[in-house]
Amino acid sequence: MELLLTLYNTTGLSMISLNQIIMIIVALVLLYLAIAKGYEPYLLLPISFGMLLVNLPGVPNEGIMEKGGLLYYLYQGVKLGIYPPMIFLAIGASTDFGPLIANPKSLLLGAAAQLGIFAAFVGSIAMGLTGKQAASIGIIGGADGPTAIYLTSKLAPELLGPIAVAAYSYMALVPVIQPPIIKLLTSKEERAIKMVQLRTVSKREKIIFPIMVTILVILLIPSAAPLVGMLMLGNLIKESEQVPNLVEHAKGAMLYIITICLGTTVGATTNADTFLSLNTIKIILMGLFAFSCGTAGGVIFGKIMCKLTGGKINPMIGAAGVSAVPMAARVVQRVGQEENPSNFLLMHAMGPNVAGVIGSAIAAGVLLAVFK
């Protein structure tokens, strides 16, 4: 019996706590959403599995996140701010900025959709969080997971796990959250507005664009260089058509390897002691508020542009100003076709959508410059 008792005391069952049980259940729910429902599976799956690993009792610390363990070394890519810019490189290599170049006014819609970032920042300050924590929570409003992870790793690493889970959860819920907000703020007639086809963008314009954006943005906001610079480098190697192998590997193998490392190590920061806290509830609530305000800000500015142009702009495309690419643009397309089956808004919505990627990176740069 003593031998059996000794053996039992070495098992995880003898060490498990209520908080760990809760975290294991949360991890399993997130795994279900990623696998069965397809909610942001590329990142939600490794994040939730990392969460499961770190919360199973009895796992030797040196094998998880303590110095000397595998995940400790992989986590350095998050801690040192390496993984998110590399993901931006891959995003740039798979992004077409043509719709934005063809309709530069889309930049304004992308900027308006960043309202959620600053609204949540103010709200988080009011809830008693520090400036650095509030900035990290606010960036969830940009609906850009890599940007949220990058800024949080620099300003409030203690909140990295909850913020990453919240950011990617709300990105996955774009098709659920956005349509009611769009319909609340627009009329049936506005949602049915058809827009004229965008002009054809030349190859020269597509090559000049990433170079000029890099120069202008970094001259004004140097702290945005890692994200904006890598985004534009990825786009430039794509549009140059001179290095197809670089493009293929950047948006393929490199992206997926980094995604696995990023997701698993971020998930492994969500242990029960740090995740099950009042701050996590605040993050989830303020994240939803931020994302909703971002969507509303884009739609409201879209309505203003609709009035100023005499009804030539469908205000719904402003909702795509959050940087959940291309999911937010697809939501606009779907809602538009519900009102008018012949309406095709996807390419028009892609302009604000890719502008939102640039906008969230710039917003992160501003917050980093202020609070670092």
The rounded distance, in Å, linking the Cα atoms of 34 and 30 is 6
In-domain check, residue 24: no
Q: Phi first, then psi: give them for residue 206, nearest 5 degrees.
A: -70, -30
Task: Quote the CA–CA distance of 135 and 147 in Å, as a whole number.
Answer: 12
Residue with tokens 């012949």, as numbered in its chain: 342
Return d(Cα 288, Cα 283) in angstroms, integer. Answer: 8
Residue with tokens 């980094």: 258
Q: Is 182 left (phi over 0), alpha (psi -120 to 50) or beta?
A: alpha
For residue 47, which of 148, 155, 136 has the smallest C-alpha distance?
Answer: 148
In a domain, 34, yes or no: no
Cα 87-279-132 angle, rounded to 5 deg: 60
**38 inside domain:** no
Evaluate whether residue 82 is within a structural domain. Answer: no
- Give dist(CA 165, CA 359) in Å, integer: 22
3-state secondary structure of 203: helix
Domain that holds residue 110: 96-262+273-371
CB 328 within 8 A of CB 353: yes
Q: CA 246 to CA 76: how far, in whole Å?
A: 25
Closest CA to 108 of 359, 363, 371: 359
Residue 49, domain member (yes or no): no
Cα separation, 76 vs 368, whole angstroms:
19
**Count of domains forming the chain:** 1
d(CA 206, CA 212): 10
Residue 282 lies in a domain: yes
Within the chain, what is the greatest distance between any pair of CA atoms?
Answer: 85
Q: Which amino acid is at 142?
A: G
Q: Which tokens belong to 275? A: 């995740």
Cα separation of 318 and 266, whole Å?
A: 31
Q: Is residue 219 in a domain?
A: yes
Query: Alpha-carbon Rg of the chain, whole angstroms?
Result: 22
**What CA–CA distance (Å, rounded) separates 200 from 69?**
52
Full DSSP string of 241-274:
-S-HHHHHHIIIIIHHHHHHHHHHHHHTT--HHH
Distances (CA, A) of 30 to 49, 169, 175, 201: 9, 9, 18, 41
pLDDT for 66 equals: 72
Other beta carbons within 10 Å of 338: 14
- Alpha-carbon gap, residue 349 to 225, rounded angstroms: 26
Neighbouring residues of 133: CB distance < 8 A, sequence distance ≥ 6? 124, 155, 156, 159, 279
Regions of the chain short of the pLDDT cut 50? 61-62
Is position 230 within any domain?
yes
CA distance 17 to 2: 23
